[in-house]
Chain A
Amino acid sequence: MGQTLVEKILSAHAGQKLRAGDMAVCEVDVCLTQDGTGPLAVRQIEKLGIEGVKNPQKTVLFIDHAAPSPRKELANDHMLLRAFAEKTGSQLSDIGDGVCHQVIMEKYLNPGELLIGADSHTCTGGAIGAFATGMGSTDVAVGMALGKTWLRVPETLKFVISGSLAPGVYSKDVILHIIGMIGADGATYKAMEFAGETVEKMTVPERMVLSNMAVEAGAKCGLIASDGMTEAFMTEMGRREFFKSLRADDDAVYERVYELDAAAIVPTVSFPHTVDNTRPIDHEDCREVSIQQVFIGTCTNGRIEDLRIAAAILKGRKIHHGTRLIVTPASRRVYGQALREGLLEIFNDAGASINTPGCGACVGVHQGILGDGERCLATQNRNFQGRMGNVKGFIYLGSPATAAATALAGKLVDPRNYV
């Protein structure tokens, strides 16, 4: 009997053949923390009385959630993280370097590896066929210190997507559609595996959107086979020697298989205050919804491909007078590319504010907190009440194209009329 992707990767890290339902202690390849969860992890390691970390080259401390710091308490936390990195030889990704989930893909994570991160969207790493999952600070602290973690091998829900996406429809719309279909707890404790010709044709940056949002359906990871697209991505990142192909066996056992027709998926928006509260853009609820803030960025949709899509719509135009547009590239690499390609000039000329690479407005501590009763259309992954710093704010989620078109119109609009 064959194995699913998650069974294969976890078996390789446990040194024994595992099946869904098994518990195992696994070797950890890469650990990450961010400035919200890192200080707690550092204190836990100190409590264990352990000096240093198991694998400093692959232990990465990110300062991305409140960067640059908006408060002295957070600035002090940043100092703690820098000192720990210095002391242990761990890698530090400081202010302006970018969002952890983007930078980990650019520089550290390889296909087939096991990544644990003290951030729920660590599952982004599944896009290159790595087992990547979010945990709390204590779990990640133990992984950093000992290079091991315990895991229950999850059952897998497979999503087979066939056909071509229509112009103006992107992988963001696909994943919002899926979460709307199965619900915010539709994959709790499970692995999601994305496959089929539509996924095979997606580039790794497009696939990252699917994997990134797996946790929004409650999943432990969102895996995609490592193939030619993965090789192209690893080559572009200058790490081709670490590429290896990896796919599920044809006779792997799935808990459930969902078949989707890509051509039937339209631009999709999540309404406040849950990700699964989705509407197709042509739904009557989407008519005349005025939007005061548009935010393009994050680990979900702040990559160069996303900025190109938005810039193509915004080029030579001005955003609506009642709407502000915030653009936050996901990493320093993305920022540099956008600068060289003239995209930042297009955003600036259109009337956007451009922020330091990082999590930006998504976490609600700085760089774009909403006012009472304001509505924001964001390319991020989460629209919980209070997420963007104000319980009286309303967050809608959509693709970069939907975001750019909405910034021009000042209200929710169908991006297919703009691309």
Chain B
Amino acid sequence: MIYQGKAWKFGDDVDTDAIIPARYLNTSDPKELAKHCMEDADPEFMQKMRVGDIIVADKNFGCGSSREHAPMAIKAAGIACVVAATFARIFYRNAFNTGLPILEAGEAAAEIKSGDELRIDTMTGRIENLTTGKTYQAKPIPPFMQELIDDGGLMAHISKKSKTS
């Protein structure tokens, strides 16, 4: 998939409480969760962002709780994709399971600024900064994870396997 949108830049260690605070976890309705997406990192984020925009962050994005509501909230908010220097382990797995495209790219994360226009090809991992003209290459996705994405997430992967076996 190719996504084009505006970058919103965050720093290190954006935790799951910042992505979706526990005080809003009285629902697992993605639309309700999306209303509070990134609220504790930037209270005005949902007013400022537009559907198709891209979150860019430094290291350890999504650290903390195992709540799958975090990638769900980002996806339902309309964020096309998240680029970070590194992701926390559980968030990484949850993103694939819930169908939120994510890419690890340290140099891109270090150089991209809020407001830059990006074009991202999630299949090849190529990240273009249309504002600065610079191009970056994300780390390749492990083959097993790519299989999950191709099948449409873990649930679809399991359903497919149970049909073929």
A: residues with CB less than 8 A from B are 23, 36-37, 39-40, 43-44, 47-48, 71, 73-74, 77, 117-120, 122, 134-139, 142, 146, 150, 152, 184-185, 188-189, 215, 218-220, 274, 363-365, 382, 384-387, 389, 391
State whether B66 touches A47 (Cβ < 8 A).
no
Q: A40 CA to B27 CA in the complex, in Å?
A: 9
Count of chain A to chain B residue pairs whose CB atoms are closer than 8 Å in the complex: 115
Q: Which residues of B contact A43 (CB under 8 A)?
A: 28
Q: Which residues of A contact B93 (CB under 8 A)?
A: 135-136, 139
In order of increasing CB-CB distance, the 5 nearest A-B pairs are: A136-B68, A136-B94, A73-B26, A185-B60, A386-B40
State whether B21 touches A136 (Cβ < 8 A).
no
Q: Digitize B57-81: 1 where CB-to-A-CB distance is under 8 Å, 0 elsewhere.
A: 0011001111111000000000000
State whether A185 touches B28 (Cβ < 8 A).
no
List B residues 111-165 near A (Cβ within 8 Å).
142, 144, 153-155, 158-159
B: residues with CB less than 8 A from A are 13, 15, 17-18, 21-23, 25-28, 40, 59-60, 63-69, 86, 88-90, 93-94, 97-98, 142, 144, 153-155, 158-159
Q: Which residues of B contact A137 (CB under 8 A)?
A: 68
Across the interface, name the chain A residue whose C-beta is closest to B95: A136
Give chain B nearest CB distance to A84 CB in angstroms. Answer: 14
Give chain B nearest CB distance to A212 CB in angstroms. Answer: 14
Q: Which residues of A contact B142 (CB under 8 A)?
A: 23, 152
Count chain B CB atoms within 10 A of each CB in A74, A118, A152, A387 and give the residue with the most.
A387
> Contact check: which of A73, A136, A274, A363 meets B97 at CB < 8 Å?
A136
User: With A136-B66, A136-B68, A386-B40 as given contacts, are A185 and B86 in contact (CB-CB < 8 Å)?
Assistant: yes
State whether A36 touches B22 (Cβ < 8 A).
yes
Q: A119 CA to B90 CA in the complex, in Å?
A: 10
State whether B59 touches A139 (Cβ < 8 A).
no
Q: A365 CA to B24 CA in the complex, in Å?
A: 9
State whether A37 touches B68 (Cβ < 8 A).
yes
Q: A150 CA to B23 CA in the complex, in Å?
A: 31
Q: Which residues of B contact A74 (CB under 8 A)?
A: 26
Given contacts A48-B159, A142-B154, A150-B144, 8 further A-B contacts (CB under 8 A): A37-B66, A48-B155, A135-B66, A136-B94, A189-B89, A364-B21, A384-B64, A386-B18
State whether A184 touches B63 (Cβ < 8 A).
yes
